[in-house]
Structure 1
């Protein structure tokens, strides 16, 4: 093919892509890439469309959405990315596929500790990393994260991999509060108290507590609620345990986020901002948090009764962004102490 024909073909392709991009922008819709299943989002998407007339197109996947957006480049149809955990949120920012969310509504409603200082993400709900304790063998109803390294719990703790993003965030928060040296000492203490090699997921942790393999398990708030309310086969694991909301000494309970990021080349940016702001509203906050057994980030919104049954959440005031900055240090410490060995 001659150089002239190559240039002509390239120009034609660029024109087609530009037209496609324009079509996305003129569609009156918003394209949401989500790590949450479409069926879980449908009550929200239906309500938003009813309120605004704007249709939401959901692309759901269990992994790889950041890479997909990056590969699609400037012509990506994605407007928003919905993901969970500060680890995944931070990975999307580091991939360079986001832009700042400029919204006075979000700045007013969403507390600063649940927003990116540079504006690239905002939390829409919270989950906490808590203790599943044996009802029969654990009499206390309060515990600190620091206490998990106390020798009195030797051979009595179950947990999933220390490198899993949920534990990485908890350990990163510990680093943020106490520094790397004390975090290393603490991790060695927790490792010494493990009943078995870290394995499985949070549900399996509850299973092992119920089976008497350990007295304490570490898991997220919503797993216990899902077992209790939605999974008859696993309900006995929840019934054998109680949820304790631990705290950092003198502080609050470690929380993480489900968050939204505005995609760098969002073709429907105005509609995307409308959706973000709508999700911070009272109606959406209740629907989303209730459906996912999470805590609303907006103050004054009713909490799901099962979650409320854990007791009042005194959330740690550590900015979630500081957890992101300590993720690498936490991961390094997990390997250094041989936590998963």
Structure 2
């Protein structure tokens, strides 16, 4: 939880030299639940650098896992990319991934952002932080635990318990504070809801603008995206009224959601799959994650886009994300117990 572990590139951190990709022949079959148009640049530059053609299958993470399981040993998948740790851990537990033997990945991706057996690696991050209406909230919560403070009764908007971001946040609270404290926290947040859980992260920000709530939780890249370009309901005037807090500074730090990937268990093009993961850890690809999709790079020392850098410096929670993922079933049980819809 030290500042040296932040994935904020404006801090002068020495990054391992970026890998040089040698030209190779062949194809790569990519199964991805990332749905961002800006990722096109990642794929085209990889092909240009290596000569490897990328064939893509895109869908929701659970659908891709079910497909890979059904395909079994005949699956054409070489790489699985998804946008949350719990799905990566589930893919590993289902036997859908294999270990990647790569010194480049080991050196460039921090240990707490990779699977203990090298079956998946994180390549970009989003901080899940507190946003608030600056005209209505004089003293916003400074950590996640404070969201349950009765002082904020009727003020909090949040996503539903079925959302993976909600699940991993509570799973992190379990890891950092224990199951009993997490249950008390979840009940307190439910008691403070301004409305029933609904919508996506952008809707939580819109709730602040509409006056439906005064405090909400969202991943940083939704807010940074609205800083960079027009987003419906979040024009420049609306954005000016929203403040933000990076929670638990000086304690565990801000919770980070991870986007990452691994090599499919039966990858027919394993060598090309390793090259692709190594490319995602390169400075060039890491910069695309920030510039194209307003995410934080996983590799320390890589430059941030202006919209991301505008959010400022912060201390990130460096809790082991494999352990967080293991807490997700307990988190869902707690959600059910406290009536978090």
TM class by smaller structure = 0.7 to 0.9
Tell me if the contact between 2:129 and 2:247 (Cα under 8 Å) persists in the aligned partners: yes
Once the two structures are TM-superposed, the CA of residue 70 in structure 1 deviates from its matched residue by: 1.6
- 2:11 corresponds in structure 1 to none
- Deviation of 1:226 after TM superposition, in Å, equals 2.4
Runs of 4+ in 1 over 4 A off after TM superposition: none
**8 Å contact from structure 1 (residues 29, 268) kept in 2:** yes
Partners of 2:273 and 2:112 lie apart in 1 by 22
Kept in 2, the 8 Å contact 1:146–1:248? The answer is no
Task: For residue 154 of structure 1, report the CA deviation from its aligned partner.
Answer: 1.0
1:124 alignment counterpart: 123
Which of 28, 31, 50 pairs up with 1:30? 28
Aligned with 2:81: secondary structure? strand
Q: Deviations over 1:181-232 (max 9, x none)?
A: 1111111111111111111111111111111221101111111122333334
1:134 Cα offset (Å): 0.8
- CA pair 137-192 structure 1, distance change in 2 beyond 3 A: same
Aligned to 1:6: none
Greater C-alpha radius of gyration:
1
Do the aligned partners of 1:79 and 1:263 also contact (CA within 8 Å) in 2? yes
**Would you say the 8 A contact 2:157–2:193 is kept in 1?**
yes
Report how many residues are paired.
Answer: 315
Deviation at 1:67, TM superposition (A): 1.2
Question: Which of the two has greater helix per residue?
Answer: 1
Deviation at 1:328, TM superposition (A): 0.7
- Given that 1:146 and 1:249 are in contact with CA atoms closer than 8 Å, whether structure 2 keeps it comes out as no
- Find the aligned partners of 2:337 and 2:280 in 1 and give their Cα distance: 41
Higher mean Cα deviation, 254-263 or 198-207? 198-207
Tell me the residue number matched to 2:160: 161
Consecutive unaligned residues of structure 1, counting only runs of 5 or more, are: 1-25
- Greater relative contact order, per chain length (Cα 8 Å cut-off, separation 6+): 2
Q: Distance in 1 between matches of 2:322 and 2:231?
A: 37
Partners of 1:132 and 1:206 within 8 A in 2: yes
Confirm or deny: 8 A CA contact 1:158 1:196 kept in the other structure. Answer: yes
- Aligned Cα RMSD in Å? 1.8
User: Aligned partners of 1:250, 1:170: CA distance in 2, in Å?
Assistant: 16
- Deviation string 1:229-270 (CA, Å, 9 cap, x unpaired) is 333423235343123211276121100110011100000000
SS in 2 for 1:246: coil
Please say if 1:148 is aligned against 2:135: no
Separation in 2 of the partners of 1:71 and 1:262?
17
In structure 1, what is the equivalent of residue 274 of structure 2?
Answer: 273
Report the Cα distance in structure 2 between the residues aligned to 1:60 and 1:38, rounded to whole angstroms.
11
Whether contact under 8 Å (1:126, 1:257) holds in the other structure is yes
User: What SS class does the counterpart of residue 235 from structure 1 fall into?
Assistant: coil
CA contact (8 A) 2:123 2:281 kept: yes
1:148-297 alignment, distance < 5 Å: 148-236=147-235, 237-247=238-248, 250-297=251-298
Partner of 2:58: 60
Distance 1:158 1:336 in 2: 19
Taking the aligned partners of 2:80 and 2:219, their CA distance within structure 1 comes to: 22
CA–CA distance in structure 2, aligned partners of residues 33 and 181 of structure 1:
38
Are 1:73 and 2:35 matched, yes or no? Answer: no
Which segment drifts farther, 58-67 or 125-134? 58-67
Q: After the TM superposition, which residues 318-337 of structure 1 pair with which residues of structure 2 at under 5 Å, given as runs?
A: 318-337=319-338
Tell me the residue number matched to 2:40.
Answer: 42
* Counterparts of 1:242 and 1:304, CA distance in 2: 20
Distance between the aligned counterparts of 1:186 and 1:141, measured in 2? 17
Contact 1:160 1:200 in 2 (8 A): yes
In structure 1, the partner of 2:138 is 139
Classify 1:116/1:178 alpha carbon distance in 2 versus 1 (closer, same or farther; 3 Å).
Answer: same
